[in-house]
Amino acid sequence: MYASRRKNSILKDFIRNFELTFLALPAIVFIFVFAYIPLYGLILPFKNYNFEQGFFGSPWAGLQNFKYLFTSDTLVRVTTNTVVMNALFILFGTLFSLLFALLIFEVGKRHVKVYQTAMFFPYFISWVVAAYVVLAFLDMENGFINRMLIHFGKDPIMWYSNPHYWPFILVIVSVWKSAGYGAVIYYTGLLGTDTEYYEAAMIDGATRLQRAWHISLPLLKPLITIMTILAVGKIFYGDFGLFYNVTLDSTQLYPATDVIDTFVYRTLKSMGDIGMSSAAGLYQAVVGFALVLLSNWVVKKANPENSLF
Amino acid sequence: MKRNNIVIHLILAGFALICLLPFVLIVSTSLMHEKDIALFGYSFIPKRFTLMAYEVILKNPQQLINSYAVTIAVTLIGTAVGLWLTATIAYVMTRKDYKYRNKISFYVFFTMLFNGGLVPSYILISRWLGMKNTIFALFVPYLVNAWFVLLMKGFLQSIPHSLVESAKIDGAGEFKIFVKIILPIAKPAIATVGLFMVLQYWNDWWLSMLFIDKENLYTLQYLLIRVMRNLEFLNTEFARKYLNLAQVEIPTLSARMAMSVLAAGPMLFVFPFFQKYFVKGLTVGSVKG
Amino acid sequence: MRKTSSSIFVAVFTIAMALSGCGKSEGGNAASDSASPAQSSAAAEASQAPNKQPIDFVELTWYMPPPTSPEKNMDNVMSEVNKYVKEKINASLTIKFIDWGSYEEKMKVMSAAGDPYDLVFTTNWINKLPLNVAKGAFVPLDDLLRQYGPHIMEKIESKYWPAVTFQGKRFAIPNPTTYASTSSFSFKKELVDKYNFDYKNAHTLKDIEPFLEAVKKGEPGITPLLAMNLATPGMSDLNTQRDSITNFIQYDLKTGEFLTIFDDPVGKELAKTLSDFYKKGYIAKDAATKKDWTLEGKSGKYAVMPSPGAYSEDGSKATSVYGFPCYESLYAKNIVSTASVQSVGTAISKSSKNPERAMMLLDLIYSDKKFFNLLAYGIEGQDYKVVSEQGTDNPTVETNAEVTWAVWHPWIGSLFDQWPSNWNSQTALDKMRRDNDESTISPLLGFNFDPEPVKREISQVQAIVDEITPVLWTGTAADTDKYLQGAKDRAAKAGLDKVVAEVKKQYEAWKIAQG
């Protein structure tokens, strides 16, 4: 009796929501085919994979493939570096993106094009090219900064040998590379907000700062929340291009710049074991997943409207 | 008010200038003599100008022109189809009256972190779908990207539900509401995500590397990255030991930078195009009224 | 929500299993279906009429990195090649050049996915033979060689086969090439002449010190020594008296012992010399962070530079690599080892549908010098011209100034079937062959270490080694002993001893098997 009524309501729900489901159906099917079907690859970390026997035929390896990660003396170092640097990137990246978005929003449409195009440029170039830009500043002999130092009678600094400077350098480079991108996102978010609020505020005679603080930021809150939750999900992934290319893979900098992704790359490059590398990927995904569930739960408690799901 | 504006302009202009540095550097390096780079490092103003790097590349423009055509085609088709798919699924996720919105959000988000890895995707695309060495392999795999969907959802969330309700009262179907009401007011969002998609396709070399081994289907970035990656390898100990480096043609750094300029150049014009749609205010108020 | 995700999982796994199941059996069937008739028909032909061409036309693909880029005359050369291949073995050949940076990854993915390809370039340094064999990517060649490869068997000396033999089966054709590579100091000619340095008798780092000192004193704009990680010149004993088992374990020919990089007395001495040089200012301050040794060398701001790859008495190799006049002096002559024999080879993929025809193609290359040189040099008049001995099977040729087509001979066949040319004169070829015969052969030739049982330990130690060598081989460490000791302690924790023990164990077993 109860069961059939429940079935009935499920069917009713389905029919009532059918039109919207149908609208999204092509995308749902696409995701299923391209993202969910290949998921059988998730068994790879637990297999001793060989080409002949394939995914399902290869012998099980238990947790062997994870061992190199968790028994490494660098695990603490690389995990700390990854998480701390990413946390700094999220913090400063969001701050500067918001700042630039609000500033551009203030100066109006006429100047938007020039500023945004320029700010977007670093995002557009590859890390390889970005590394050349950083090198132009930090090169020991010919770098812009060292030439300045020598010019003012100071000793040149060997930037690529001293890890102490790198947390700062990396944050600056990361903000430089991504703030324009973030600014575009938040600027778009501001465009989507209702102009009535601003008109009302104008009439009330609010200053620009007050407007930004009391209207723009609260309106952007849902977007900021989503962006941050998504970034938290990726907190265990070190940006390989940044940590490998920009540091010139200088081994003397490893105490500050070695992250999970560079460590895995270095460890596996000679052996090239698919099982071991996918083990690292699974580890990053599972931790990121847990963190997202946690932060989503916190957000949901505070305000269900803003949560991701 | 006026003085405030000047301060804001100064801050923005300052940051914009720093952001343009790589552009100056790439262009200037592409105009430099190879030897000067090793002697004086990368500098923003070349000591001596030369157009040699461009001459070398443009001597045989056939491959370059071909790759431009492939890249443009892939970018256009990929972005158009991708935007439709992304917008539809993101939109239903923002509808508060849609029963499965959280489930679909989760369904999408899950794929952002978990994937089956390279080999299963390769088997799917190359063997089961038979896309190897076809143009489909260059855009289909990227059509729906979880991150873009969730970003789009973030943008669309601010559309007031009342809009949909009033349209429904008028008897409009969901498809019509989406096309006639949602899409027009979501222009800035669509332009932004569209821009990101254009960049994704334009900058991609990975799909070419994996699925294409016919030169007439190489994308622009793959032409470039191929050279860069060749070079990285030629600097390894193995190359020195086992290859006769005197016989291997190593492209100069200037040539690589010149390639970058040629590959990135068109994108400078794409951005302003999308900015047309960054229109403030929309028509939310009027529709509502 | 949990319910949704778990049901999604179930659905996905069921479908994935089903799909991959079908895909696999389908692929398997297809492979065996097409392979078995081909096999039987080819075998029948071979036994009945060995000279008659096989009936069914097949397409062969051969993957290799690009020798030069781009290959401008590819279309013409391949159509010429294919006329020949069609006539001789009723097949066609497509060569796919995959850039160096992607080659290894691409071949790995293709093999893992079972994508069909036939012939493949394999070595012990890229698309590594031992790893491919361990993963089951290649087919064993013994039967194929016996049936279809008589000319290959004839041209490859039996003493080299053990290097490509795993568990008693041959997995690659070790194309004959120069096995005993040489290394030399490259000197900037201008400076050697200026300071009148007797470079001809300088064969060790210590020998060149007076020159470095003179340059340091007299040439303020010049860095005396270009040292850069593994490219640092002068690691002589490490090359001449050692056989590398892994990147950090070597077999010492003199003492018959296995040494690790952390307790190798010769290596330590070398590091100390470099450290001394660094402190005296002979090595650039930021040497440990430099990557591009050719770019650095070409700048002309160094007096002594890394080996150009092989020693040339007149300095021509260094001159062409660095782009200004150079002298060279020999500092190391390597031994012939498993690694050097594996340095270039061809294998047949497990996913190949026509392994017999692939072997026939290889045998054609080994038996027909004209075809082989067409594949390597290109077409007469378009890519090269004949200088003398026109019409014989060994003419002397000269390639165009701008290379329009080239596949290095040892990548596809035997270097010693090469027509003499501006690449190698007949004298040079003869000398290389003599050098091969006269070189020291490692007692471990044929020993292939299987890293599988200790792959975790090897990976971790390797990560540590990669971290220290850029510092060690530029003399940048403040205190070499302390630095090495620190690294050694870390390596010990990562399981270095276990790796060494495994190497010894496998070596003993191999020795017993050798009898």
Cross-chain CB nearest to B127 (options C23, C301, C309):
C23
Distance from CA of A3 to the nearest CA of C (A): 17
Clarify whether residues C401 and C508 are in a common domain.
no
Residues 6+ apart with CB under 8 A from C146: C153
Clarify whether residues C199 and C160 are in a common domain.
no
The residues pairing with C303 across neighbouring beta strands, listed in sequence order, are none
**Does C309 contact B250 at a Cβ distance shorter than 8 Å?**
no
Element (H, E) at C320: helix C316-322
Residue C478 sits at the chain A interface (C-beta within 8 Å):
no
Cross-chain CB nearest to A140 (options C128, C285, C466):
C285
Render B78-116 in DSSP notation, one character per residue.
Answer: HHHHHHHHHHHHHHHHH-TT-TTHHHHHHHHHHHHH---
Chain A: list its partners (3+ Cβ pairs within 8 Å).
B, C
Asked if pLDDT for residue A129 goes beyond 90, the answer is no
Domain total for chain C? 2
Residue A90 sits at the chain C interface (C-beta within 8 Å):
no
Cross-chain CB nearest to A160 (options C20, C104, C289):
C289
- Domain residue limits, chain B: 1-50, 60-288
**Does C24 contact A74 at a Cβ distance shorter than 8 Å?**
no
Q: What pLDDT, on the 0 to 100 scale, is given for residue C41?
A: 43
Residue A71 sits at the chain C interface (C-beta within 8 Å):
yes
Cross-chain CB nearest to C99 (options B102, B229, B240):
B229
Q: How many beta-carbon pairs under 8 angstroms link A with C?
A: 119
Q: Going by DSSP bridges, is the β-strand pair C326-333/C302-305 parallel, antiparallel, or unpaired?
A: unpaired
Cross-chain CB nearest to B115 (options A35, A106, A292):
A35
Token couple for C69: 């880029």
**Polymer length of chain B:** 289
Helix, strand, or coil here: C380? strand
Label each residue of chain A as H, E or C: CHHHHHHHHHHHHHHHCHHHHHHHHHHHHHHHHHHHHHHHHHHHHHECCCCCCHHHHCCECCCHHHHHHHCCCCHHHHHHHHHHHHHHHHHHHHHHHHHHHHHHHHHCHHHHHHHHHHHHHHHHCCHHHHHHHHHHHHCCCCCHHHHHHHHCCCCCCCHHHCHHHHHHHHHHHHHHHHHHHHHHHHHHHHHCCCHHHHHHHHHHCCCHHHHHHHHHHHHHHHHHHHHHHHHHHCCCCCCHHHHHHHCCCCHHHHHHHCCHHHHHHHHHCCCCCHHHHHHHHHHHHHHHHHHHHHHHHHHHHHCHHHCCC
Residues of B in contact with C4 (CB under 8 A): 103, 106-107
Provide the Cα torsion C295, C297, C298, C302; round to 10°: 140
**Does B38 contact C403 at a Cβ distance shorter than 8 Å?**
no
**Does C125 contact B250 at a Cβ distance shorter than 8 Å?**
no
Q: How far apart are CA C260 and CA A54, in angstroms?
A: 36
Q: How far apart are CA B119 and CA A277, in angstroms?
A: 12
Does residue A266 contact residue A247 with C-beta atoms inside 8 Å?
A: no
Tell which wins on pLDDT, A220 or B245.
A220
The answer to the question of residue C22 being in a domain is no
Q: How far apart are CA C380 and CA C401, in angstroms?
A: 14
Clarify whether residues C308 and C353 are in a common domain.
no
Cross-chain CB nearest to B249 (options C8, C68, C96):
C68
Q: Which of C440, C462, C488 is the last residue of a domain?
A: C440
Chain A: residue whose CA lies nearest to B102: A309
- Determine the average pLDDT of the residues in A100-120: 82
Handedness of CA A97, A99, A102, A103 (dihedral sign): negative
The residues pairing with C182 across neighbouring beta strands, listed in sequence order, are C333
Cross-chain CB nearest to C100 (options B107, B120, B229):
B229
**Does C247 contact A254 at a Cβ distance shorter than 8 Å?**
no
**Nearest residue to B53 via CA among B37, B75, B76:** B37
The per-residue pLDDT for range A160-172, each reduced to its tens digit, is 999 999 999 999 9
Residues of A in contact with B100 (CB under 8 A): 17, 21
Count of CB atoms situated within 10 Å of the CB of A34: 21
Q: Can you tell me which residue has the tokens 């005197």?
A: B246
Q: What pLDDT, on the 0 to 100 scale, is given for residue B239?
A: 72
Chain A: residue whose CA lies nearest to B258: A129
Helix, strand, or coil here: C302? strand
Residue A68 sits at the chain C interface (C-beta within 8 Å):
yes
- Determine the residue among C17, C246, C289 to mutate to test chain A binding: the one whose Cβ has the most chain A Cβ atoms within 10 Å: C289
Q: Residue C396 belongs to what domain range?
A: 43-180+339-440
Q: How far apart are CA C176 and CA C160, in angstroms?
A: 9
C-alpha separations of C431 from C184, C373, C393, C424, C441 in Å: 18, 20, 20, 10, 17
Helix, strand, or coil here: C119? strand
The answer to the question of residue C15 being in a domain is no
Clarify whether residues C463 and C484 are in a common domain.
yes
Q: How far apart are CA C228 and CA C299, in angstroms?
A: 15
Q: What pLDDT, on the 0 to 100 scale, is given for residue C46?
A: 44
Q: How many beta-carbon pairs under 8 angstroms link A with B?
A: 256
Residues of B in contact with A184 (CB under 8 A): 192, 195
Q: Can you tell me which residue has the tokens 């040079």?
A: C428
Does residue C211 contact residue C192 with C-beta atoms inside 8 Å?
A: yes
Residues of C in contact with B34 (CB under 8 A): 298
Q: How far apart are CA C452 and CA C461, in angstroms?
A: 14
Token couple for C54: 């096989």
Handedness of CA C497, C499, C500, C501 (dihedral sign): positive
**Does B144 contact A219 at a Cβ distance shorter than 8 Å?**
no
Q: What pLDDT, on the 0 to 100 scale, is given for residue B244?
A: 64
Residues of A in contact with C13 (CB under 8 A): 39-40
Q: Which of C440, C469, C496 is the last residue of a domain?
A: C440
Asked if pLDDT for residue A236 goes beyond 50, the answer is yes
Helix, strand, or coil here: B250? coil
**Does C100 contact B132 at a Cβ distance shorter than 8 Å?**
no
Clarify whether residues C142 and C54 are in a common domain.
yes
Count of CB atoms situated within 10 Å of the CB of A36: 22
Residues of A in contact with C114 (CB under 8 A): 51, 54
Class of domain A61-306: mainly alpha
**Does A251 contact C15 at a Cβ distance shorter than 8 Å?**
no
Report the percent of chain B where pLDDT is more than 70: 88
Q: What pLDDT, on the 0 to 100 scale, is given for residue C38?
A: 40
- Determine the residue among A20, A102, A185, A286 to mutate to test chain B binding: the one whose Cβ has the most chain B Cβ atoms within 10 Å: A20
Report the percent of chain B where pLDDT is more than 90: 40
Q: What pLDDT, on the 0 to 100 scale, is given for residue A97?
A: 95
**Does A188 contact B155 at a Cβ distance shorter than 8 Å?**
yes
Helix, strand, or coil here: C330? strand
Distance from CA of B248 to the nearest CA of A (A): 23
Mean pLDDT by 10 residues, chain C (515 residues): 43 42 36 39 43 78 86 92 94 93 91 93 93 93 96 94 94 93 92 95 93 95 92 78 89 91 91 95 92 84 90 88 92 89 95 96 96 94 90 89 87 94 88 90 92 90 92 92 94 94 95 86
Residues of A in contact with B89 (CB under 8 A): 24, 27-28, 31
Element (H, E) at B288: helix B284-288
Chain B: residue whose CA lies nearest to A225: B154
Chain C: residue whose CA lies nearest to B108: C5
Does residue C420 contact residue C394 with C-beta atoms inside 8 Å?
A: yes
Clarify whether residues C65 and C169 are in a common domain.
yes
DSSP C404: S
Asked if pLDDT for residue A17 goes beyond 70, the answer is yes
Q: How far apart are CA B13 and CA B16, in angstroms?
A: 5
Q: Which of C414, C440, C466 is the last residue of a domain?
A: C440
- Determine the residue among A34, A270, A289, A309 to mutate to test chain C binding: the one whose Cβ has the most chain C Cβ atoms within 10 Å: A270
**Does B127 contact C291 at a Cβ distance shorter than 8 Å?**
no
**Does B248 contact C126 at a Cβ distance shorter than 8 Å?**
no
Count of CB atoms situated within 10 Å of the CB of B171: 7
Does residue C331 contact residue C101 with C-beta atoms inside 8 Å?
A: no
Residue C16 sits at the chain A interface (C-beta within 8 Å):
yes
Q: Going by DSSP bridges, is the β-strand pair C345-348/C119-122 parallel, antiparallel, or unpaired?
A: antiparallel
Chain B: list its partners (3+ Cβ pairs within 8 Å).
A, C
C-alpha separations of C486 from B208, C228, C481, C495 in Å: 44, 21, 9, 15
**Nearest residue to B144 via CA among B152, B134, B133, B154:** B152
Q: How far apart are CA C302 and CA C310, in angstroms?
A: 19
Asked if pLDDT for residue B264 goes beyond 90, the answer is no
Does residue A226 contact residue B150 with C-beta atoms inside 8 Å?
A: yes
Domain at B60-288, CATH homologous superfamily: MetI-like (1.10.3720.10)
Asked if pLDDT for residue B262 goes beyond 90, the answer is no
Does residue B158 contact residue B132 with C-beta atoms inside 8 Å?
A: no
Clarify whether residues C409 and C466 are in a common domain.
no
**Does B89 contact A124 at a Cβ distance shorter than 8 Å?**
no
Q: Going by DSSP bridges, is the β-strand pair C249-252/C242-244 parallel, antiparallel, or unpaired?
A: antiparallel
Count of CB atoms situated within 10 Å of the CB of A62: 10
Q: Which residues of C49-71 are buried (b: 16+ CB within 10 A; e: fewer)?
A: eeeeebeeebebbbbbbbbbbeb
**Does A73 contact C490 at a Cβ distance shorter than 8 Å?**
yes
Chain B: residue whose CA lies nearest to A130: B22
Cite the DSSP H helix spans in C166-256: 189-195, 205-218, 236-240
Q: What pLDDT, on the 0 to 100 scale, is given for residue B137?
A: 96
The per-residue pLDDT for range B50-80, each reduced to its tens digit, is 887 787 777 778 888 999 999 999 999 999 9
Residues of C in contact with B118 (CB under 8 A): 109
Q: Which residues of C4-18 are buried (b: 16+ CB within 10 A; e: fewer)?
A: eeeebeeebbebbee
**Polymer length of chain A:** 309
Residue A306 sits at the chain C interface (C-beta within 8 Å):
no
Asked if pLDDT for residue B206 goes beyond 70, the answer is yes
Q: How far apart are CA B25 and CA B23, in angstroms?
A: 5
Residue-averaged pLDDT of chain A: 88
The per-residue pLDDT for range B171-186, each reduced to its tens digit, is 888 999 999 989 988 8
Q: How far apart are CA B25 and CA B16, in angstroms?
A: 15
Q: What pLDDT, on the 0 to 100 scale, is given for residue C142?
A: 96
Clarify whether residues C460 and C369 are in a common domain.
no
C361: domain CATH number is 3.40.190.10
Element (H, E) at C388: strand C384-388
**Does B127 contact C113 at a Cβ distance shorter than 8 Å?**
yes
**Does A38 contact B89 at a Cβ distance shorter than 8 Å?**
no
